[in-house]
Amino acid sequence: MRPILPLLFLSALGAAGAAADSRPEEFGFPIVMQEKSAATFYVASEIDGYGSVELMVDTGSGYMTINEETLAVLQRRGTARYVKQLRGVLADGSELTVPVYTIARLRLGGECWLEDVEAAVFPGAARQILGLSALRRAAPFIFSVDPPALTLSRCGVADQTPAAIAGAAQEPG
């Protein structure tokens, strides 16, 4: 069985390396992170079709993860589309096969909208994670622990939300 820690470490270095080659003015979307126990960081988020959710930021996770409860709501509302099965190695060395779905829209912080983000679905009420499948959509990015902040480069803006687009289409010209 392959050790997981070196792979996770290289993923984190790759994300930080992308930021090192970028100009500071490219990072226009600062997102406050909340630090919790054991040096874990969370961002306030919204999954279109589900609502508000707190995501743990994990640059060592290849995929954003959601749980089965969140998926069930997204499926009822038509905002998740099945992509594939994924077999992966967890941090404890065990293997798990999970479905991957594309989430139509995800908001990070106040104004950063990402579209068509792939998320692996974990059983039960598993913790939901902001991993590289989402972070790559907004890359390059900066992950700072002091102060806790995630600063992204490529985001859609709030006025491009489905409600705003529908409202603009109904406004008289």
pLDDT tens column, 68-103: 999 999 999 999 999 999 998 877 889 989 999 999
Whole-angstrom distance, CA of residue 102 vs CA of residue 83: 7
| pLDDT for residue 2 | 31
pLDDT at 88: 84
| Residues 133, 64 contacting (CB under 8 angstroms) | yes
Q: What is the mean pLDDT of residues 7-33?
A: 51
pLDDT range class, residue 163, cuts 50, 70, 90: very low
Q: What is the pLDDT of residue 26?
A: 62
Phi then psi for residue 146, to 5 deg, are -145, 95
d(CA 43, CA 31): 7
Does the pLDDT of residue 3 top 80, yes or no?
no
CATH number, domain containing residue 86: 2.40.70.10
pLDDT above 70 (res 4): no
Least confident of 85-99, 116-130, 156-170: 156-170
Tokens of 8: 């996770």
For residue 27, the model assigns a pLDDT of 62
Domain that holds residue 77: 5-170
Number of domains in the chain: 1
Question: What letter represents residue 171's amino acid?
Answer: E
Give the range among 15-19, 31-35, 37-41, 121-125 with minimum mean pLDDT: 15-19
pTM for this structure?
A: 0.74
pLDDT at 146 over 90: no
Give the whole-angstrom CA distance, residue 129 versus residue 27: 22
Tell me what the pLDDT averaged over the chain comes to.
79
Percentage above 90 pLDDT, the chain: 54
